Structure 1
Amino acid sequence: MANPFKNPHRGLLLESVLLVVTFLPVQILAADSPIPVGSRLELFVDRHLVDRMEGVEFRTHPPQMLPLPKSPLIGGYATVIKDGDLYRGYYRDTDPSYTGPQYSGHPGEITCYAESRDGHEWTFPSLGLFDVNGSRENNVVLARQPPFSHNFSPFLDTRPGVVPDERFKALAGHPGKDRKAGADGLHAFASADGVVWRPLGQGPVIPYDKAWSHAFDSQNVAFWSAAEQRYVCYFRTWETPHGRLRTVSRSTSADFLTWDKPVPMHPNLPGEHLYTSQTHPYFRAPHIYIALPTRYVAGRVGGEKTDPMLGSTDIVFMATRAGATSYERLFPEAYIRPGLDPDRWGSRSNYVALNVVPTGDAEMSIYHAKSGHRYVLRTDGFVSVAAGIKQGELVTKPLVFEGNRLVVNYSTSAAGSLAVEIQTPDGTSIPGFSLADCNVVVGDTVAGCISWRGNPDLEAWAGKPVRLRLVMTECDVYSFKFEPKPITE
């Protein structure tokens, strides 16, 4: 697939592009403890690395909905896992032969499986594992084990040394119709192939706590965190500083079986319910966790209608980092709106599948788990630091990097530009790497190398604290990283 974002860009000395360089005042800043970034990718989804901004702003970039082809991940909670060249999809459905009462976690709920080689077109393998509606010719991977199909949430366990028959793991559990006799917490499952699943142990690995009043009635998500060297779980609880609201707590484990005491994350605004957190490591920067929770607004059902028992939903964007006990919400408003489809304005009609996955050279996909629509956005393209026609700049906190060149994901207009200055921790430009030395870049690329008078080599400054000063006009900067690769240009 051709890269839709990558265009030729040219590097010119700054003075040849800007007739007048307006140097925004740089204050002398106290030397903070430098932040080690190594050679990992850093996104602007939070303020973690930002010291100051003048004439630029954080800008959100909602994904674009593609009408066709639709994914099969329609129904309830869903998960998409990219396993090498294979995309694995898991979603909830109901056995057509089930005629019993309908409630969350009822015996007729089933977990289904689909596959794709490109993330666009999906197939439904006949697995022969469960008799559903009188036949084993189906794609069901879990059935007749209530309430676990209600919110069965698998992941690919990337922990080094994981045993082969536990390469995939999952959590599931729900208070059920009768909490006293129903599920008693989150139970663990394992699989060698992501298709045939078995319980891990007999009881819950995260037991229900009566002090929570209610819990687990959502898609509770887990993963192995390479950054934390622990399993991490984000799950539904109800208590917040703003009262009893649907919210998120976090727990960690060394072995997936024994979990630490949960810590509330408190992401809610006053009066705001948050359903599925969908918190997961970003695939290009796994120390950053992206969250796409469903926001529930009680009483609203679209148009002029109101119903105190129902409500409207949309998707918001949050981020957190490995080990953090809070989310950062640069944008409290909706990230994905319900849109023109009237069915998206029904109660609980907007969930997205767990995980943002790559589906092209410079494309990522988010799957809407109710309508089946696929949403796309550019690689790293959740949030940018953006400048308009007037020149602006961002200065980072002191950083310590590994590698010998700086690569930036950016997009400019035809009249726009980006230049980068390397500074000492006190804000002094480093000779040879000043703004005047920088080759201005113009264009659109997810991996543009920055150079100074034709030289991109930063090896002399690796391991030493430096600041980055990004000066731009009509430009969006999405991410950056220092690459350890040897210079071959």
Structure 2
Amino acid sequence: MFKQLFFDDQRLFARENARRIYGAPEYVGHYRDSLLNISYCWAYAIKGPDGKTHLLFQGLYRGQVAEGMSYGAAVSDDGIHFQPRNTASGSGIQNPDFPYQLFPTDAKGSEIAAVLEDPKAPPSERYKMLFTDNSRRDKDLHIIDTVLFSADLISWKEKCGCYWNPIGTEPLLGAFYNPVNDKFTILTRPDLTHRRVAITETPDWQYYSPMEICLQNDSLDKPLAEIYGMPAIEYDGWFIGFPHIYADFPQILNTKCDGGTMHVQLAYSLNGRHWQRALRTPFIDAGHPAIVENMGLPGKMTFLTSALRQDDGSILLYVITNMKEHGTPNAELQENDTCINILRLREDGFIGLQTEDKNIPARVATREIVWHGGEVTFNLVVSKATCAVYERTFYEVVPIPGFSHEDCTPASGDRVRWIPQWKGGNLEQFAGRILVFELRFENGTLYSVSGNGTPVMSMEGARYIKFGELPASKGF
């Protein structure tokens, strides 16, 4: 199976009258804790063993000076409407501050950095938490980055001898299982206050590969802009990153902590190791119309910490917004200044190709695909769309009778899984041949094309025609 998302044109023969745009997530709900200011990248959503969505978060007591970090938990049947979860008794906390407390209050302000499911672990260690222990920070300017494990997302224990960053660093980061190399990937800052994205990998949570830089700010960014961190997910053979861009702060001669804004862009990878930036415009920021409506005013800071796939294919995005600036003291934050906003993104809706001139049809054609059977599927929103199918011979690409645009029954409207129909029949008859798909669409956006095939380039296609050889999996 393959899925083509349109972050670039690498797998396209043609793109006419189609501009690249980010998808537009819709606001569906929010969670605001009654006690804590969740003002930083301090909330993580994950599916639990009970099938529910669990929200693990931390914050500082509203209205108080930052003297201790408190940790809480909430739960939801639908991933949108959350209620505090009674975790204190299950966590073994003596004299808890509140019923949904997850860990004892930490005077040093240690932080949850990521929470993920480990599909290879025994049930007792099914869930992993990357934790940043700040107990040594004042003494020797280091953080201890540890791994905790749990069976139920309530009771957590430290996995002894596991330190995912040898120097130690703080959130924001990404962590996911990578099926390409059967390892877990951690995208983290290489050191405290070092605002670039480094990568380390582990097969077992004991051994970690040496840190390598995989993404940083570049010449297309705003002056002095920094990548604050990059959560990321694996998605149908792709890896989607959410680089957080911190910019627009005063140009003082010091590390930038006060002033400025934070917004989220997108990055992508085919193997989870080598990353490229997408559009240099906000995918999500605190000026999102629905967030402004919920919060009352445009915010300053935005942190996208979790993205969860739903049963219908859509993705729920958990976005922490802060009306104040990065360095605003906790005592100055009011009840409505911080919030976990929940947005829904359509399936494959990260990026798309949109009709540029609405008076002219857009044209998008794939490169060659060795077809293994079944039908092709498009995800689009259009006034009208048709698809033509071509076959790659050894020397050229030729039309297939009965599979032209005129032979295709047009599609219209919002079609997450449009399967074209032609007068010539279905595509199953072309299993084992090399096909090219050309889509024409009016006044709309194309998000993806997918099917049971192997994308190839021209020489790979020629070898397949002559020798029947499919290219080996290269991990890119």
TM range (shorter): 0.7 to 0.9
Q: Does 1:315 align with 2:261?
A: no
2: distance between equivalents of 1:474 and 1:435?
17
On the 8 A contact 1:78/1:352 being kept in 2, the answer is no
2: distance between equivalents of 1:477 and 1:421?
17
**What does the per-residue CA deviation read over 1:448-471, in whole Å, with 9 as the maximum and x for residues that have no partner?**
111221623x23433443322222
| Match 1:126 to one of 65, 73, 86 | 86
The equivalent residue for 1:373 is 341
| Match 2:425 to one of 451, 455, 458 | 455
The equivalent residue for 1:288 is 238
Aligned counterparts, 1:205-354, within 5 A: 205-208=164-167, 216-237=169-190, 246-270=195-219, 271-282=224-235, 285=236, 287-299=237-249, 309-329=258-278, 331-339=279-287, 340=292, 341=295, 345-346=299-300, 349-354=301-306
SS for the counterpart of 1:205 is strand
The equivalent residue for 2:77 is 117
Q: What residue identity is the alignment partner of 1:92?
A: Q
**What does the per-residue CA deviation read over 1:392-443, in whole Å, with 9 as the maximum and x for residues that have no partner?**
2122222234441111111112xx3232423316432234433343332222
SS for the counterpart of 1:369 is strand
Task: Describe the shift of the 1:315–1:167 C-alpha distance in structure 2 as closer, same or farther (beyond 3 A).
Answer: same
Task: Describe the shift of the 1:463–1:112 C-alpha distance in structure 2 as closer, same or farther (beyond 3 A).
Answer: farther
Task: Describe the shift of the 1:95–1:463 C-alpha distance in structure 2 as closer, same or farther (beyond 3 A).
Answer: farther
Single out whichever of 116-125 and 434-443 deviates more from structure 2.
Answer: 434-443
2: distance between equivalents of 1:125 and 1:185?
28
**What does the per-residue CA deviation read over 1:342-384, in whole Å, with 9 as the maximum and x for residues that have no partner?**
77544xx2112322432x7464321222322222232221211
1: distance between equivalents of 2:374 and 2:408?
16
On the 8 A contact 1:420/1:450 being kept in 2, the answer is no
Q: Does 1:474 align with 2:456?
A: no
2: distance between equivalents of 1:298 and 1:177?
32
1: distance between equivalents of 2:359 and 2:308?
32
2: distance between equivalents of 1:61 and 1:293?
16
On the 8 A contact 2:143/2:170 being kept in 1, the answer is no
2: distance between equivalents of 1:337 and 1:126?
32
2: distance between equivalents of 1:147 and 1:227?
38
The equivalent residue for 1:152 is 113
On the 8 A contact 2:72/2:103 being kept in 1, the answer is yes
2: distance between equivalents of 1:312 and 1:300?
11
Shift of 1:148: 7.8
On the 8 A contact 2:108/2:135 being kept in 1, the answer is yes
Q: Does 1:43 align with 2:43?
A: no
2: distance between equivalents of 1:176 and 1:404?
57
| Match 1:52 to one of 6, 11, 14 | 14
Q: Does 1:82 align with 2:47?
A: yes
On the 8 A contact 1:234/1:277 being kept in 2, the answer is yes
Q: What residue identity is the alignment partner of 1:384?
A: G
Q: Does 1:422 align with 2:390?
A: yes
Q: What residue identity is the alignment partner of 2:43?
A: A
Q: What residue identity is the alignment partner of 2:77?
A: R
On the 8 A contact 1:92/1:149 being kept in 2, the answer is no
SS for the counterpart of 1:171 is strand
The equivalent residue for 1:35 is none
Shift of 1:198: 0.9
Task: Describe the shift of the 1:444–1:293 C-alpha distance in structure 2 as closer, same or farther (beyond 3 A).
Answer: same
Q: What residue identity is the alignment partner of 1:217?
A: E
The equivalent residue for 2:370 is 400
2: distance between equivalents of 1:150 and 1:139?
17
On the 8 A contact 1:245/1:273 being kept in 2, the answer is no
| Match 1:204 to one of 150, 163, 171 | 163
| Aligned-residue RMSD, C-alpha | 3.2
2: distance between equivalents of 1:254 and 1:394?
40
Aligned counterparts, 1:158-173, within 5 A: 158-159=119-120, 162-173=121-132
Task: Describe the shift of the 1:184–1:373 C-alpha distance in structure 2 as closer, same or farther (beyond 3 A).
Answer: closer
SS for the counterpart of 2:195 is strand
Single out whichever of 117-126 and 149-158 deviates more from structure 2.
Answer: 149-158
On the 8 A contact 2:38/2:60 being kept in 1, the answer is no
Structure 2: 5+ residue stretches without partners: 322-338, 454-476
Structure 1: 5+ residue stretches without partners: 1-38, 209-214, 302-306, 485-489
1: distance between equivalents of 2:113 and 2:92?
16
2: distance between equivalents of 1:321 and 1:112?
35
The equivalent residue for 1:92 is 58
SS for the counterpart of 1:459 is helix
2: distance between equivalents of 1:40 and 1:344?
39
Shift of 1:267: 4.2
Task: Describe the shift of the 1:447–1:253 C-alpha distance in structure 2 as closer, same or farther (beyond 3 A).
Answer: same
Task: Describe the shift of the 1:252–1:55 C-alpha distance in structure 2 as closer, same or farther (beyond 3 A).
Answer: same
The equivalent residue for 1:10 is none
The equivalent residue for 1:141 is 102
Answer 1 or 2: higher relative contact order, Cα 8 Å, separation at least 6: 1
Shift of 1:82: 2.8
- Identical columns (%): 18
2: distance between equivalents of 1:110 and 1:454?
64
On the 8 A contact 1:43/1:380 being kept in 2, the answer is yes
Equivalences, count = 411
2: distance between equivalents of 1:49 and 1:71?
43
